[in-house]
């Protein structure tokens, strides 16, 4: 998967910037700022030296209320700065209140009069009303914040069914949980197939203004428009979604012609859509000087026999410009039909095309300027001309009107040499006139052949461009699916799976702040605090002004007792954005680490005021109050669950409160709910085992402890409680093994050493027991009373100490 994505990315790198820009601007126009930041970061990671990617990333961050990070991104040295960076910098400084810096940036921007906006800053088409997918996404977000999980899930699913690239809708579904697999939501799509030379290709046309995610005019299509989730199709198809091209000739369909009345040339505004698109043609034959000698077959195929009775009927017809040279030169109506027909035959050859069948009179009555070349019989025979030839003659007649035959000197007229016509040739002329089909190529047919060749080349180039564009879309979609797999795994607290999915990302994306933040959160949920600390330090190095995910980092520093780092982090976050809940949570954790609970509660309360839906603020308030007022702590935890029903920390806090109140059934229920949400947390499983132990269900308790130890072998609390259960079940050797590991990892824990001495005594090893008790007395002199009591107790009457 990784190799496939990297290969598609490299092959479509020419079209990736354009497709990324369309996607990001579509998200910004739809007010989907989290999605815009997500895709803009991926774009900037691929092209870090591209100013267009930098501008888009900064613009997305600015719209997402992260002006400090956006300012840091465009605040470049003088040698790596452009007018676009200065303009965005001025916007950020204006929001941050740095008006002097904004003025300096604008003045410096004005010094570059030759600045051209980057391609992504071009004008684009916007719609007055969003697409249904965007409306469903916004509705799901509001339902999620309003504690309506069922409505939110339905809205997010409908949004993703219409458009699987809506990242915010997918994040909303992850927040709701119960995502077993993403194949039903974001299915895998087959890679686009490169068309073979000469193969019929399928194009997907675009229409400006067709939807919300419509790119600017002249772009190669909408990356969002009519996205289908059918895995059997590599692109949307339909009656209006694709054009099937064979040799490019179907673009000039005959039913799109707009006919004009005889003798009245059609204006440019009257021409149909197909009339405005002309294939490449050779130089048009528009005058008698350029026609040259007329070949024998051309003359014979175009010869017409005009009945004498038709002349009076056509005397009122007004000749068109293209036929003016023919009709004005024919003043003497009494001349022979052979002499009279020669100029008209030359014009008719221009409009003729080989292989075209003669149209009937009912069809040819709608023909254009060719009906004015002679009588109605001539108009009937040559009513529908070849479109390419008509366009050539029409274009030539607009640029330069043909001279009249009477004005052209006789010596300059190139006429065919006279020759004697035989009876067989006359019969052949009659047959050709009746059939209306020319067997020899005419100048119009030669132009049409060359135009067809050029059209085939254009069709092949368009097919290659369409393939490369779809390859770029496939690369973006594949990258988004890999990120979605990792996000889903972390939302379901499958942290090992999350780390495994992140390893599949290309190397350029592994070094992004989004990826490192996900790595830090995964290690934090696993209890691997050292690895999580390194990951969050990398996030801070990549984005020094980042506020997102910093509440997890501050809690991590609280667990690690990093008082100096936590204090520095809290001050920085407060300076960056004093109205962000993450900053006040970090400040509260700093006060909590210093045992100033009242100040910590004040900070947590401030965070909840800034963001009422911040469940973490209520949870930390509950944990801060649990040692003083259990009822108050329970109220805080319940508020957290009203904000987020899947916040397992709140369920864990409620279980702890009920455990201290000796309400074991309530404690078991709440601990069980927390373990159900986060089944891979060793602490939660250990808490359930503690309840089972208090209830006397030793076998069930040992099962929970064994599972917890398998998940986290370094968890000291779980091993300690398992050792106590093993001693109660008289499995002394296993208990001694756990206690010895704990003694080696935590040599200062007097309780562990004391319990190990009791296990040695129960096993009958009095020497080790005495030595261990001496160590326990040295570590904790206050435990001398417990040691004396242990020595006075008979071995069979010993009961495990609850400490």
Q: How confident is the model at residue 36 (pLDDT cuts 50, 70, 90)?
A: very high
Select from 624, 651, 623 the least CA-distant residue to 638. 651
H or E segment and range at residue 203: strand 201-203
Supply the pLDDT for residue 80.
81
Asked whether the predicted pLDDT for residue 304 surpasses 50, the reply is: no
Q: How far apart are CA 91 and CA 97, in angstroms?
A: 10
pLDDT in tens, 412-465: 444 444 444 444 444 444 444 444 444 444 544 445 555 566 777 778 778 888
Kindly report which listed range (232-246, 443-457, 592-606, 609-623) carries the lowest average pLDDT score. Answer: 232-246
pLDDT tens digits, one per residue of 348-395:
333 333 333 434 433 444 444 344 344 444 433 334 344 344 434 444
Average pLDDT over residues 690-700: 92
Share the mean pLDDT of the chain.
Answer: 73
pLDDT tier at 199, thresholds 50, 70, 90: low
pLDDT band at 191 (very low <50, low <70, confident <90, very high): confident
Segment 94-117 shows an average pLDDT of: 87
Predicted pLDDT of residue 497? 93
Phi, psi of 201, rounded to the nearest 5 degrees: -110, 155
Range of weakest confidence among 181-195, 272-286, 528-542, 739-753: 272-286
Category of 631 on φ-ψ map: left (φ > 0), alpha (ψ -120 to 50) or beta: alpha
Q: For residue 490, count other CB atoms closer than 10 A to its CB.
A: 21
Name which residue leads in pLDDT, 406 or 628.
628
pLDDT band at 703 (very low <50, low <70, confident <90, very high): very high
More confident residue, 763 or 63: 63
| pLDDT score of 452 | 65
Looking at residue 287, its pLDDT comes to 37
- Is residue 174 over pLDDT 90? yes
Model-level pTM?
0.68
- The neighbouring-strand residues paired with 243 are 203
Nearest partner of 22 among 124, 174, 112, 96, judged by Cα? 124
State the alpha helices, DSSP H only, in 79-238.
Answer: 83-96, 99-110, 132-145, 149-162, 167-176
Separation CA 155–CA 137 (nearest Å)? 6
Contacts within 8 Å (CB) and 24+ apart, 412-415: 412/289, 413/288, 414/288, 414/289, 414/291, 414/292, 414/293, 415/293, 415/294, 415/342
Report all structural domains of the chain as residue ranges with CATH numbers, in order of start: 296-439 (no CATH), 509-732 (1.25.40.10)
Helix (H, G, I), strand (E, B) or coil at 413: coil
| The predicted structure's pLDDT at residue 209 | 32
Average pLDDT over residues 747-756: 84
**Residue located via tokens 């770029």:** 472
- 644 burial class (0-12, 13-18, 19+ CB within 10 angstroms)? buried
The set of long-range contacts for 208-211, using a CB threshold of 8 Å and a minimum separation of 24, is 208/125, 209/125, 209/127, 211/127, 211/131
User: How many other β-carbons are positioned within 10 Å of the β-carbon of residue 434?
Assistant: 11
Question: Taking the CB of residue 788, how many other CB atoms lie within 10 A of it?
Answer: 12
CA-angle at 39, arms to 36 and 41, nearest 5°: 105
pLDDT in tens, 539-588: 999 999 999 999 999 999 999 999 999 999 999 999 999 999 999 999 99
Q: How far apart are CA 456 and CA 12, in angstroms?
A: 24
User: Which residues, in sequence order, are CB contacts of 421 under 8 Å at separation 6+?
Assistant: none
The 10 Å Cβ neighbour count of residue 496 is: 12
Among 333-347, 524-538, 655-669, 726-740, the range scoring the smallest mean pLDDT is 333-347
Q: Integer distance in angstroms from the first to the last C-alpha of the chain?
A: 52
pLDDT category, 773, cuts 50, 70, 90?
confident
The per-residue pLDDT for range 221-263, each reduced to its tens digit, is 444 443 444 443 333 333 333 333 333 333 333 333 333 333 4
Phi, psi of 243 (to 5 degrees): -120, 125
């Amino acid at each position: 998967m990784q190799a496939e994505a990297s290969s598609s990315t490299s092959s479509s790198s020419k079209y990736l910037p354009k497709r990324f820009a369309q996607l990001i601007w579509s998200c910004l126009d739809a007010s989907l700022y989290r999605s815009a930041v997500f895709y803009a970061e991926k774009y900037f990671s691929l092209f870090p030296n591209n100013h267009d990617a930098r501008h888009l990333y900064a613009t997305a961050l600015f719209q997402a209320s992260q002006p400090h990070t956006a300012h840091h991104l465009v605040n470049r040295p003088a040698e790596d700065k452009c007018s676009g960076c200065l303009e965005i910098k001025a916007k950020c400084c204006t929001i941050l209140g740095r008006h002097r810096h904004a003025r300096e940036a604008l003045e410096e921007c004005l010094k570059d009069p030759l600045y051209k906006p980057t391609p992504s800053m071009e004008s684009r088409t916007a719609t007055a009303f969003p697409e249904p997918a965007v409306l469903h996404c916004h509705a799901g977000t509001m339902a999620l914040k309003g504690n309506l999980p069922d409505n939110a899930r339905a809205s997010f699913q409908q949004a993703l069914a219409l458009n699987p690239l809506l990242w915010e809708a997918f994040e909303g579904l992850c927040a709701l949980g119960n995502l077993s697999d993403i194949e039903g939501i974001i299915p895998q799509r087959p890679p686009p197939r490169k068309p073979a030379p000469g193969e019929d290709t399928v194009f997907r046309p675009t229409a400006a203004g067709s939807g919300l995610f419509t790119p600017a005019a002249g772009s190669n299509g909408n990356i969002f428009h009519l996205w289908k989730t059918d895995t059997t199709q590599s692109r949307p198809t339909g009656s209006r979604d694709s054009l099937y091209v064979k040799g490019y000739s179907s673009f000039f369909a005959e039913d799109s012609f707009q006919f004009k009345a005889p003798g009245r040339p059609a204006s440019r505004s009257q021409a149909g859509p197909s009339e405005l698109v002309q294939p490449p043609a050779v130089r048009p034959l528009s005058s008698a000087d350029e026609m040259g000698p007329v070949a024998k077959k051309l003359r014979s195929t175009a010869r017409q026999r005009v009945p004498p009775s038709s002349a009076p009927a056509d005397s009122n017809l007004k000749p068109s410009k293209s036929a003016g040279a023919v009709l004005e030169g024919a003043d003497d109506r009494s001349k022979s039909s052979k002499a009279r027909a020669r100029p008209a035959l030359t014009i008719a050859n221009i409009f003729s095309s080989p292989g075209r069948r003669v149209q009937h009179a009912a069809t040819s009555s709608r023909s254009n300027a060719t009906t004015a070349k002679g009588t109605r019989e001539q108009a009937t025979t040559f009513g529908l001309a070849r479109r390419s030839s008509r366009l050539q003659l029409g274009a030539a007649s607009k640029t330069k009107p043909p001279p009249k035959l009477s004005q052209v000197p006789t010596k300059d007229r190139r006429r065919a040499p006279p020759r004697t016509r035989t009876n067989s040739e006359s019969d052949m002329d009659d047959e050709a006139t009746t059939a209306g089909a020319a067997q020899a190529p005419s100048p119009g047919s030669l132009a049409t052949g060359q135009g067809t060749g050029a059209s085939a080349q254009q069709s092949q180039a368009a097919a290659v461009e369409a393939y490369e564009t779809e390859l770029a879309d496939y690369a973006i979609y594949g990258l988004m699916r890999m990120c979605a797999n990792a996000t889903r795994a972390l939302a379901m607290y499958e942290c090992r799976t999350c780390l495994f999915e992140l390893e599949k990302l290309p190397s350029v994306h592994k070094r992004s702040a989004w990826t490192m933040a996900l790595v830090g959160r995964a290690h934090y949920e696993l209890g691997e605090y050292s690895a999580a600390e390194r990951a969050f330090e990398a996030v801070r190095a990549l984005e020094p002004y980042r506020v997102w995910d910093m509440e997890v980092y501050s809690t991590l520093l609280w667990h690690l007792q990093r008082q100096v780092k936590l204090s520095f982090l809290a001050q920085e976050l407060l300076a960056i954005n004093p109205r962000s809940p993450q900053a006040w949570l970090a400040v509260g954790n700093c006060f909590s680490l210093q045992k100033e609970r009242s100040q910590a509660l004040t900070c947590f309360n401030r965070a909840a005021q800034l963001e009422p839906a911040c469940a973490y603020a209520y949870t930390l308030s509950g944990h801060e109050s649990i040692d003083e007022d259990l009822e108050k702590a329970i109220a805080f935890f319940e508020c957290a669950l009203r904000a987020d029903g899947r916040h397992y920390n709140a369920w864990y806090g409620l279980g702890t409160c009920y455990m201290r109140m000796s309400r074991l059934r309530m404690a078991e229920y709440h601990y069980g709910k927390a373990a159900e949400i986060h089944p891979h947390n060793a602490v939660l499983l250990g808490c359930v085992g503690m309840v089972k132990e208090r209830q006397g269900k030793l076998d069930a308790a040992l099962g929970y402890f064994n599972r917890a130890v398998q998940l986290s072998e370094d968890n000291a609390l779980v091993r300690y409680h398992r050792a106590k259960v093993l001693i109660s079940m008289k499995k002394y050797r296993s208990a001694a093994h756990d206690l010895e590991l704990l003694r080696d990892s935590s040599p200062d824990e007097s309780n562990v050493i004391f319990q190990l001495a009791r296990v040695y005594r129960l096993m009958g090893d009095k020497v080790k027991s005495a030595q261990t008790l001496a160590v326990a007395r040295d570590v904790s002199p206050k435990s001398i009373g417990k040691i004396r009591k242990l020595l006075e107790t008979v071995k069979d009457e010993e009961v495990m100490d609850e400490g």
